[in-house]
């Protein structure tokens, strides 16, 4: 909710009343390749934490409760407004938002039970960290047995309609401190030196 400057009343976002968004225009930053990450949810935290790499469409431990995306969308829109972000473009399963000048697209991927985020800036860590925190707030408010994991495509940047073959658990990858590279990079930021 927020103050409406013209009438002085409150305005509310009701995601269930949004259009499906089939004809939703693509944002400029999301038309081509963009950094992508996925918010994956599970009630089997122990099982999900053990796996470093999972098949994109095959991980049966994923669970995306009805209403989770809507709640996360509401919190993300509120944060966007608080950070003077550009006006959002919203639909029932997709949102084009910005946190300050960091533009991104958040999309509920019902078939694979996860949320995909495409980031149109070189450093997606700011958006990833904030969305992970907002997802944790939603979980704490209404789904305390649910766990959230940030997963990244094993292949790097993806086009608009591309799906990754596999996802990598980012926290687990960073904790392993890989020796096969000069570090774990997310966009243009090194998360862990190799």
Alpha carbons within 13 angstroms on the beta-carbon side of residue 187 total 17
Q: Where are the domains of the chain?
A: 27-173
Cα–Cα distance between 55 and 166 in angstroms, integer? 4
3-state secondary structure 147-184: EEEEEEECCCCECCCCCCCEEEEHHHHHHHCCCCCCEE
| Each residue's pLDDT expressed in tens, for the chain with a length of 194 residues | 444 444 556 555 555 554 555 444 444 344 455 788 999 998 877 766 667 788 887 776 788 889 999 999 999 999 999 988 788 899 889 999 998 888 999 999 988 889 999 998 877 888 999 999 999 999 999 889 999 999 988 876 676 677 888 888 888 877 766 555 555 555 555 555 54
Determine the straight-line distance between the first and last CA of the chain, rounded to whole angstroms.
Answer: 44
Three-state secondary structure call for residue 50: helix
pTM (2 decimals)?
0.76
Residue 172 corresponds to which tokens in the numbers above? 């687990």
Residues whose CB is less than 8 angstroms from the CB of residue 10 and which lie 6 or more positions away in sequence, other chains included: 1, 2, 3, 4
Cα–Cα distance between 122 and 186 in angstroms, integer? 9
Nearest in space to 1 (alpha carbons), one of 53, 77, 110:
77
Query: Are the beta carbons of 115 and 105 closer than 8 angstroms?
Result: no
Q: What is the architecture of the domain spanning 27-173?
A: 2-Layer Sandwich (3.30)
Q: Cα Rg for the chain, rounded, in angstroms?
A: 17
Q: Is 138 exposed, middle or buried (0-12, 13-18, 19+ CB in 10 A)?
A: buried
């Amino acid at each position: 909710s927020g103050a409406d400057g013209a009438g002085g009343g409150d305005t509310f976002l009701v995601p269930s009343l949004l259009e499906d968004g089939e004809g939703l225009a693509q944002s400029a930053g999301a038309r081509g390749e963009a950094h992508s990450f996925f918010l994956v949810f599970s009630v089997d935290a122990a099982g999900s934490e053990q796996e470093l790499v999972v098949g994109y469409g095959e991980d049966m431990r994923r669970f995306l409760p009805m209403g989770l995306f809507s709640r996360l969308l509401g919190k993300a829109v509120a944060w966007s407004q608080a950070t003077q972000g550009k006006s959002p473009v919203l639909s029932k399963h997709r949102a084009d938002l910005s946190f300050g000048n960091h533009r991104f697209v958040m999309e509920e991927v019902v078939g694979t039970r996860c949320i995909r985020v495409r980031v149109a800036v070189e450093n997606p860590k700011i958006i990833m960290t904030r969305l992970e925190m907002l997802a944790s707030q939603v979980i704490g408010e209404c789904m305390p047995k649910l766990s959230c994991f940030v997963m990244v495509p094993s292949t790097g940047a993806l086009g608009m309609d591309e799906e990754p073959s596999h996802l990598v658990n980012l926290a687990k990858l960073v904790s392993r401190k890989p020796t096969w590279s000069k570090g774990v990079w997310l966009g243009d930021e090194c998360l862990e030196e190799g």
